[in-house]
């Protein structure tokens, strides 16, 4: 079965709503970095990626490696809404015995290809997959690697990037979710990453920078990347932590939220109601 691809605006609203519902039910979780990649996930699973939900290990599939594995809830929603497993599983996020742990685990969840959570490691995993596909002569098969700007503090990322650039693995498209925040505060205050697009260009990547809130721009950038086969590809996404929910965009503790105050719970429930209206339209 090849899945039917949904309307991208509705798909993004669905993922955003599911992320909020899952984390609210759990009582805590990584809101900021899950919401900042919602538009990217909608474009990937809703349009760009090739997969078979009833055959997750289909050998011609595209691969997604979410190297910032703590943003797993967004991927779970994208997978459930694409038919990889029942939507009821979303209610079990991080329960004992769940198939959906807070960080991605390839041995637990259909559709997850890389176990991540220790920042940096997914960049090497994705590089290995891309190198393997290239060696096999795979055509039009891609590895989509999602990294965080905070994650790039890990030296391992730059080792992997050096190899991607050296081997000109254009089949790996590296996304940097530049949401400007991390665990302990603003990225700029922890380790300033300067101009990421310039850095990636200097490393040898064909680099684009786009508004990570804009579905059409993300989609166009991926099309351009797919048609460029001379260099490794990077797309820097200008995003916001807590993206798409005004309360969380302005909430200092958005990296990992505890839903333990009436204000936070009401803001989340109200955002869910707004998103439900968008999904019904
Ligand atoms: C090797 C490693 N060190 C530290 C952590 C703890 N940690 C979890 S999330 C995070 C911040 C990551 O920032 P970023 O990549 O920008 O993610 P986002 O802001 O998009 O959530 C840190 C330091 C970890 N998971 N792995």
Tokens of 25: 């039910």
**CA-70 nearest atom, ligand 1:** 9
The verdict on residue 2 lying in a domain is: no
Q: How many domains does the chain have?
A: 1
The verdict on residue 183 lying in a domain is: yes
The verdict on residue 1 lying in a domain is: no
**CA-147 nearest atom, ligand 1:** 15
Query: Helix crossing, 8-26 with 262-280: angle to 10°?
Result: 150
Domain that holds residue 54: 8-280
Is the alpha carbon torsion for 1, 34, 143, 213 positive or negative? Answer: positive
**Atom 21 (ligand 1): residue with closest C-alpha?**
33
Residues with CB under 6 A from ligand 1: 32-33, 36, 68, 70-71, 117-120, 148-151, 154, 177, 179, 181-183, 241, 255
Domain of 256, CATH number, reads 3.40.50.970
Kindly give the confidence (pLDDT) of every residue in the chain, 281 residues in length, as a single tens digit, with 9 standing for 90 and above. Answer: 445 577 999 999 999 999 999 999 999 999 999 999 999 999 999 999 999 999 999 999 999 999 999 999 999 999 999 999 999 999 999 999 999 999 999 999 999 999 999 999 999 999 999 999 999 999 999 999 999 999 999 999 999 999 999 999 999 999 999 999 999 899 999 999 999 999 999 999 999 999 999 999 999 999 999 999 999 999 999 999 999 999 999 999 999 999 999 999 999 999 999 999 999 76
Please tell me the distance from the alpha carbon of residue 75 to that of residue 41, in angstroms, as a whole number.
7
């Amino acid at each position: 079965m090849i899945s039917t691809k949904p309307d991208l605006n509705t798909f993004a609203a669905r993922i955003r709503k599911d992320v909020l519902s899952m984390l609210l039910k759990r009582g805590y979780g990584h809101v900021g970095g899950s919401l900042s990649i919602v538009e990217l996930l909608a474009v990937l699973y809703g349009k760009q990626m090739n997969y078979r939900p009833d055959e997750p290990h289909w050998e011609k599939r595209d691969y997604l490696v979410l190297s910032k594995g703590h943003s797993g809830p967004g991927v779970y929603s994208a997978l459930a809404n694409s038919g990889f497993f029942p939507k009821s599983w979303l209610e079990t996020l991080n329960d004992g015995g769940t198939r959906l742990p807070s960080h991605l685990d390839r041995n637990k969840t259909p559709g997850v290809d890389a176990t991540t959570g220790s920042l940096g490691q997914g960049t090497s995993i994705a590089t290995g997959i891309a190198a393997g596909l290239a060696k096999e002569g795979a055509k039009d098969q891609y590895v989509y690697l999602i990294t965080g700007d905070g994650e790039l503090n890990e030296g391992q990322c730059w080792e992997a990037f050096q190899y991607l650039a050296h081997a000109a693995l254009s089949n790996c498209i590296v996304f940097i979710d530049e949401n400007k925040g991390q665990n302990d505060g603003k990225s700029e205050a922890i380790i300033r990453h300067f101009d990421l697009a310039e850095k990636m260009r200097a490393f040898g990547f064909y680099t684009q920078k786009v508004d990570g809130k804009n579905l059409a721009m993300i989609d166009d950038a991926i099309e351009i990347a797919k048609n460029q086969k001379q260099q490794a590809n990077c797309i820097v996404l200008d995003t916001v932590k807590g993206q798409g929910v005004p309360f969380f965009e302005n909430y200092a503790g958005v990296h990992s939220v505890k839903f333990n105050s009436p204000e936070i719970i009401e803001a989340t429930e109200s955002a869910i109601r707004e998103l439900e209206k968008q999904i019904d339209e």
